[in-house]
Structure 1
């Protein structure tokens, strides 16, 4: 099958591309620079530009489109509305009517969410459901793997920067992280299972953790011992807005809203439907933080 993957050179995109190649598909990896991962055809694709999307689809002539592009924080003109909502609108309009369409959303996507990220993801889902295409939507929790942004950067910086580790409230917010390999297998599997058309699947891992447990696991993976200090929500509600004046705030308002909501759901029916291996965070976290250390040293050497 000829498959166009938007965001094909990103963290999740690389894993999805490799899974597709392993199953014998012809893959067109869409990215803003048009880079081609090994074994793929690279195509320039900017989801915020309708013309760019049309040209990429015309070049790939796909039998399936996997739309993965997303941002976790707004920057300049790259807003949640522009990337998630308008970007999805452009991809849907360009996708051939007979093609399969797989969509990356997010666990917790709700149009009444306090998070702009979650609201825009829910709005994009509505466009998908109204598109008339043969669609499948995936809603992953926190995705872990070497090169991920949350465990490899955000959480690592949080536990590494200060002599103590600040914890939002009592740290009881629940999370159920899922491996990037499980996510990739679900996307590729949906192309081979017609019964998944018109279905929405949550993608979560085998175990649930509180935010405090995630902090403790990150410290252990880094080989560090530090006290974890709860920061009352009333104080966080004042601190987070004040942090936004910094060039690169340690946490955005949107990330704060999402953390307070937590991010968990059962892993069925996705686990059984796609035969997911359900890789465990504990087994992979040391490699994730080691990879992040190596990337940091390489960047410093440049």
Structure 2
């Protein structure tokens, strides 16, 4: 049994990782700002943007492994990409015992998407982990699906529900390979028992690739809706997206737009084989996701 400290434990992925850890007999410390208990894990107050808070949490957990999951998809106030992705990672790395395993949540396309501060800062955080001297493993998931997810359960759902027609960005051919939250959790926890994964970066993607248009069609079908899908030229989107940012809750942020245009796909062979992932299919889960249950 290993003491495992999980940052961002109350989040969508965090809860799945905690559940998987507990199922395998680990002693889990669920780190979050509020310090709430998650399942059978011990709740621990942890603000990753505060180095003192991180040091105290690590001291209390005495971890043999740290799983760093905290991340944001939209900046709000002082919660910037740089502060939450880069500074927070620096704090966690500095506090992690040198003998401990360190598992890091990054994102597919980290450091590779022009115009996306999300991507840039994810890449910077990866570089910090790789230079840390710790026994690190980095995971780069694609869009993560499951009940409670943000993309399929909110962003895409709102996009296909808000108007009489469904706007499609450009030609809709941007490729995506969504991965289930269960597959992601299994990969993270399995890495703890596989020392050969130290020093490796793994893409986490699902069993099937979809175009953006196909995702819109799947979302419509899951909601039981029939609407025309209307392409919106990129030139028009390039003008419209910046204007949307004046809204309190824009339907799409600049970073989300940049990432959608870039697509989000990669082969899954390595991670699937190393971690023996079941490869759950989006089509089998989407009905539950859009209904929120």
Partner of residue 13, structure 1: 14
Structure 1 unaligned blocks of 5 or more = 295-302
Deviates more, 1:104-113 or 1:57-66: 104-113
8 Å CA contact 2:67, 2:104 repeated in 1: yes
Where do 1:156-195 residues align within 5 Å? 156-195=157-196
Q: SS where residue 59 of structure 2 aligns?
A: helix
For the residues of structure 2 that align with 1:288 and 1:243, how far apart are their CA atoms?
27
Tell me the alpha carbon deviations over residues 235-292 of structure 1, each in whole angstroms, 9 at most, x when there is no partner. Answer: 000000011111111001111000000000000200000000000000000000011x
For the residues of structure 2 that align with 1:255 and 1:67, how far apart are their CA atoms?
22
For the residues of structure 1 that align with 2:114 and 2:104, how far apart are their CA atoms?
20
Aligned-pair distance for 1:113? Answer: 2.9
For the residues of structure 2 that align with 1:77 and 1:47, how far apart are their CA atoms?
13
For the residues of structure 2 that align with 1:69 and 1:161, how far apart are their CA atoms?
30
For the residues of structure 1 that align with 2:116 and 2:66, how far apart are their CA atoms?
27
Partner of residue 267, structure 1: 268
For the residues of structure 1 that align with 2:170 and 2:113, how far apart are their CA atoms?
23
Where do 1:27-176 residues align within 5 Å? 27-110=28-111, 113-176=114-177
Tell me the alpha carbon deviations over residues 197-249 of structure 1, each in whole angstroms, 9 at most, x when there is no partner. Answer: 00000000000000000000000000000000000000000000011111111
Partner of residue 225, structure 2: 224
Q: SS where residue 148 of structure 1 aligns?
A: coil
Aligned-pair distance for 1:38? Answer: 1.9
For the residues of structure 2 that align with 1:159 and 1:200, how far apart are their CA atoms?
34
For the residues of structure 1 that align with 2:285 and 2:4, how far apart are their CA atoms?
29
Aligned-pair distance for 1:111? Answer: 5.6
TM-score computed with the length of structure 1 as normaliser? 0.96
8 Å CA contact 1:164, 1:226 repeated in 2: yes
For the residues of structure 1 that align with 2:280 and 2:54, how far apart are their CA atoms?
34
Aligned-pair distance for 1:94? Answer: 0.4
Aligned-pair distance for 1:72? Answer: 0.4
8 Å CA contact 1:4, 1:60 repeated in 2: yes
8 Å CA contact 1:48, 1:82 repeated in 2: yes
For the residues of structure 2 that align with 1:32 and 1:119, how far apart are their CA atoms?
25
Aligned-pair distance for 1:110? Answer: 1.3
8 Å CA contact 1:111, 1:120 repeated in 2: no
CA root-mean-square deviation: 0.8
Partner of residue 247, structure 2: 246
For the residues of structure 2 that align with 1:38 and 1:7, how far apart are their CA atoms?
14
The runs of at least 4 aligned residues of structure 1 exceeding 6 Å deviation read none
Deviates more, 1:64-73 or 1:112-121: 112-121
Partner of residue 278, structure 2: 277
For the residues of structure 1 that align with 2:41 and 2:246, how far apart are their CA atoms?
42
TM-score computed with the length of structure 2 as normaliser? 0.99
1:290 and 2:268 correspond: no
For the residues of structure 2 that align with 1:55 and 1:162, how far apart are their CA atoms?
49
Partner of residue 3, structure 2: 2
Structure 2 unaligned blocks of 5 or more = none
